[in-house]
Structures are given as C-alpha cells and as structure tokens.
Amino acid sequence: MSALTIGELSERSGVPASTLRFYESKGLLSATRSEGNQRRYRRDELRRVSFILTAQRVGLGLREIGDALATLPGGRTPTPKDWERLARGWRPMLESRIRSLEDLRDRLDSCIGCGCLSLAICALQNPNDEARAQGEGPRYLLGDFPPTD
C-alpha cells in the first residue's frame, strides 16, 4: 500500500491540510517524510482522522482525544473494540453534558443564569446579586444553584 500525501489525506477525509498539520503538531496523527521532506501518511491514518472527527462531534476536546489515542498500543488505529471501550469511559461525561444542555434549554427563556442582566425573575432567584459570590459569568447556567434558606 502506498502512503498518502497530505493533499490526498485531506481530500479523502474532508479535513483541510492545515488542520491535518495541526493534528500532527498535537500528536494526534503521525507522518513520515519523503526524500523531498514532504509528509506521507499511512493509509490507516485516515481512520484516525475519522476517529478524531467523531470524537469531536460528541463534544470531546483534542486533549481528551489525544489521551484516548495514547491508550492504544503502538500508536495503532482504534479498532471497534477500542471504540467501544473508549465510548463506555466517555459516557458519564457525555451524560453530564447532556443534562447541562437540557437544563440550559429549559431555563434559557426565563433566566440567563445570573450573570445577571436583571430580568424580572432575578429579583426572586438572585436578590442583591448573590450569585456573584459563586464566581464570574452566568453561574446558574454553569451549574451552580441559588442558595437555599
């Protein structure tokens, strides 16, 4: 099997060459160099690119993806069994993100989470801007809760 150039990998994966170089700089992909110092990718790097794109789509950051790829022996491409194991490990984090998004969706029309833009309801949920003691930003939408009396 012949190696892929960066242009071929870009075309096959739909990922811009600049992004592939970035992934390589982060250790997510590896390439060898031709005699003319051009990148050459093994064909299985295409599967790694697909893995990266899929992991990003479910909300994982590049650090988390790199950590996952680092668990693979010899830097090999993930197998279906690897994907199953990794997905099981990511499930609690994804469930938490889903709950946060659902909470945000359910509260978005009535509360901006107390950062605060002084919506009428904030006088009840955040009198005297008590949320500021929990930090900056929209504290309630970030997962903090109003103090209970």
Q: d(Cα 108, Cα 139) in Å, to the nearest integer? A: 13
Quote the distance between the C-alpha of residue 123 and its chain's center. Answer: 36
Query: Are both 43 and 26 inside the same structural domain?
Result: yes
Residue 9 to residue 110: CA distance in whole angstroms = 47
Would residue 27 count as lying in a domain? yes
The CATH number for 20's domain is: 1.10.1660.10
Q: Which residues of the chain have pLDDT under 70?
A: 1, 107-128, 139-141, 145-149
Amino acid at 106: D
Beta strand extents in 38-134 (DSSP E only)? 39-40
Do 95 and 54 sit in the same domain of this protein?
yes
Q: What is the pLDDT of residue 120?
A: 52
Task: Specify the residue for token string 């990511």.
Answer: 90
pLDDT in tens, 41-82: 999 899 999 999 999 998 899 999 999 999 988 778 888 898
Give yes or no: residues 95 and 41 share one domain.
Answer: yes
- Report yes or no on 87 lying in a domain: yes
Residue type, 30: S
